[in-house]
Amino acid sequence: MADFDYDLFVIGAGSGGVRASRVSAAYGAKVAVAEEYRVGGTCVIRGCVPKKLLVYGAHFAEDLADARRFGWQVPECAFDWATLRDHVMAEVDRIETVYGQTLENNKVEVIRERATVTGPHSVALSGGRTVTAKHILIATGATPMVPTFPGSEHGITSNEVFGLPALPKRVVIAGGGYIANEFAGIFHEFGCRVTVVNRGDTILRGYDAQIRDRLLQISMSKGIDFRFNCTFESVEKRDDGTLVIRTAGDDPIEADMLLFATGRKPLTEGLGLETAGVVIDGNGAIKVDADNRTTCDSVYAVGDVTNRIQLTPVAIREGQAFADTVFGNKPRRVDYNNVPAAVFSHPPMAGVGLTESQARERLGSVKVFTSDFRAMKNVLAGRNERALYKMVVHPETDVVLGIHMIGPEAPEILQAAAVAVKAGLTKQAFDDTVALHPSMAEELVLMR
């Protein structure tokens, strides 16, 4: 140890980096973490956390409208973006402080500078210092990918969207994935005119086809516009700030904001990884083995920078597994099977395990059970929005291979169901469980 300044030097204080730092320090390692922006990373500062709070804020539009059917005399309500934005920002500040305190309490040194690797055991800090470490952990995350075409610089990304000075009246969102569908819902509920422009003909590729089709159908019936197989040609910014967005073969769209939600790429550029012989793949992601070790023995990487599954809880698990393995003498590997995921759209969708098409590809035939229903609350509210739950079951063993759902509170319900899928339970086990009535979740045990 005496040979190095630190046992562990972590670059990036996001979900993966913070977990790895504090757990390694708790095991007795001398740890420093460098962060050039804000402690907490994408999830806390400009991702999951502020997004979920906006989703809550947006949903009041429907709740307030529905409340009238439940007897509440709701006066005409107006939405004030600045109030929500500032409250969300304040909450983000609070969580950032808590993260900082957690690191401090665990005796992790937080260095608020940019760090670059200069060799297998050395790191240069933007302040001019060079430090050495027995192990280096890269946890720099990912950054929004923006396609380049004339005028694309007039668009913004999820990095900027949380701090908008004012709510745009007309929003164009590029992409058809997580961020596009979540923000389409958010802005639509706030009363903006939303157009989603997607290069292909499918939203949320990777999700079960029936579930994502239901989201598309509900989104369209709410008034969100979708343009499919549509590619951008140019964006022109007028003097009054209005954008004129031109796409191939379609009418131009006038908008006040263009949001790029076209994927995120691992943040490896300019990190000096080549100085340590760390190999990155064609997508810029750091190549790691099952123990998060890169092609350099002393350098590890966790989270989005490795582009395995770009989800916060996965990065946290990887950070924990790294610390347990390298400093805790408890070798641990992350199991990437049956990782649940959700899209916080309006309504939200969630899934775990194999989709129907993935299961058919692997097994030939599968048993599929569905429940297509209107939530009780929606019936009384006169809201014509149907939920859809789907269970994919092994044809011989009866094991539940996947559960996919769209409907109110789908992520909350799916988290519990994911335990059953992860545990390898059978459809019979669901059938044997008495329904909890009246609930939406009871549909999971009533599928016949």
Q: Is 52 in the site for ligand NDP (CB under 6 A)?
A: no
Identify which of residues 55 and 359 has a Cβ nearer to ligand NDP in the complex. 55
In the range 324-363, which residues lie near ligand NDP by CB under 6 A?
A: 341-344
At closest approach, how far in Å is the CB of 136 from ligand NDP? Answer: 25
> Which position's Cβ is nearest ligand NDP?
177
Q: Is 222 in the site for ligand NDP (CB under 6 A)?
A: no
Q: Is 162 in the site for ligand NDP (CB under 6 A)?
A: no
Residues marked as catalytic: 437
Q: Is 226 in the site for ligand NDP (CB under 6 A)?
A: no
At closest approach, how far in Å is the CB of 149 from ligand NDP? Answer: 9
At closest approach, how far in Å is the CB of 312 from ligand NDP? Answer: 7
Identify which of residues 323 and 413 has a Cβ nearer to ligand NDP in the complex. 413
Rounded to whole angstroms, the Cα distance separating 349 from 414 reads 9
At closest approach, how far in Å is the CB of 145 from ligand NDP? Answer: 6
At closest approach, how far in Å is the CB of 245 from ligand NDP? Answer: 13
Q: Is 261 in the site for ligand NDP (CB under 6 A)?
A: yes
Q: Name which position in 41, 176, 402, 407 contacts ligand NDP (CB under 6 A).
A: 176
Q: Is 177 in the site for ligand NDP (CB under 6 A)?
A: yes
**Number of residues near ligand NDP (by CB under 6 A):** 23
Identify which of residues 43 and 103 has a Cβ nearer to ligand NDP in the complex. 43
Can you read off the two tokens belonging to residue 218? 């509900």
Rounded to whole angstroms, the Cα distance separating 295 from 436 reads 51
The one segment of 85-93, 260-268, 385-393, 394-402 that binds ligand NDP by CB under 6 A: 260-268
- What mask of x and - would describe binding to ligand NDP in positions 113 to 152, judged by CB under 6 A? ----------------------------------x-----
Identify which of residues 252 and 263 has a Cβ nearer to ligand NDP in the complex. 263
Can you read off the two tokens belonging to residue 408? 């109110």
Q: Name which position in 119, 191, 252, 263 contacts ligand NDP (CB under 6 A).
A: 263
Q: Name which position in 178, 190, 369, 389 contacts ligand NDP (CB under 6 A).
A: 178
At closest approach, how far in Å is the CB of 46 from ligand NDP? Answer: 11
Rounded to whole angstroms, the Cα distance separating 258 from 244 reads 10
H, E, C per residue of the chain: CCCCCEEEEEECCCHHHHHHHHHHHHCCCCEEEECCCCCCHHHHHHCHHHHHHHHHHHHHHHHHHHHHHHCCCCCCCCCCHHHHHHHHHHHHHHHHHHHHHHHHHCCCEEECCCEEEEECCEEEECCCCEEEEEEEEECCCEEECCCCCCCHHHCECHHHHCCCCCCCCEEEEECCCHHHHHHHHHHHHCCCEEEEECCCCCCCCCCCHHHHHHHHHHHHHHCCEEECCCCEEEEEECCCCCEEEEECCCCCEEECEEEECCCEEECCCCCCHHHHCCCECCCCCECCCCCCECCCCCEEECHHHHCCCCCHHHHHHHHHHHHHHHCCCCCCCCCCCCCCEEECCCCCEEEEECCHHHHHHHHCCCEEEEEEEECHHHHHHCCCCEEEEEEEECCCCCEEEEEEEECCCHHHHHHHHHHHHHCCCEHHHHHHCCCCCCCCHHHHHCCC
Residues 6+ apart with CB under 8 A from 188: 58, 194, 219, 222, 223, 224, 346
At closest approach, how far in Å is the CB of 85 from ligand NDP? Answer: 19
Q: Is 199 in the site for ligand NDP (CB under 6 A)?
A: yes
Q: Name which position in 16, 175, 351, 407 contacts ligand NDP (CB under 6 A).
A: 175
Identify which of residues 203 and 421 has a Cβ nearer to ligand NDP in the complex. 203
The one segment of 55-63, 175-183, 316-324, 423-431 that binds ligand NDP by CB under 6 A: 175-183
The one segment of 105-113, 120-128, 258-266, 397-405 that binds ligand NDP by CB under 6 A: 258-266
- What mask of x and - would describe binding to ligand NDP in positions 291 to 320, judged by CB under 6 A? -------------------xx---------
At closest approach, how far in Å is the CB of 194 from ligand NDP? Answer: 15
Q: Is 198 in the site for ligand NDP (CB under 6 A)?
A: yes
Identify which of residues 45 and 108 has a Cβ nearer to ligand NDP in the complex. 45
Q: Name which position in 25, 34, 124, 179 contacts ligand NDP (CB under 6 A).
A: 179
Q: Which residues bind ligand NDP (CB under 6 A)?
A: 147, 174-180, 182, 198-200, 205, 261-264, 310-311, 341-344
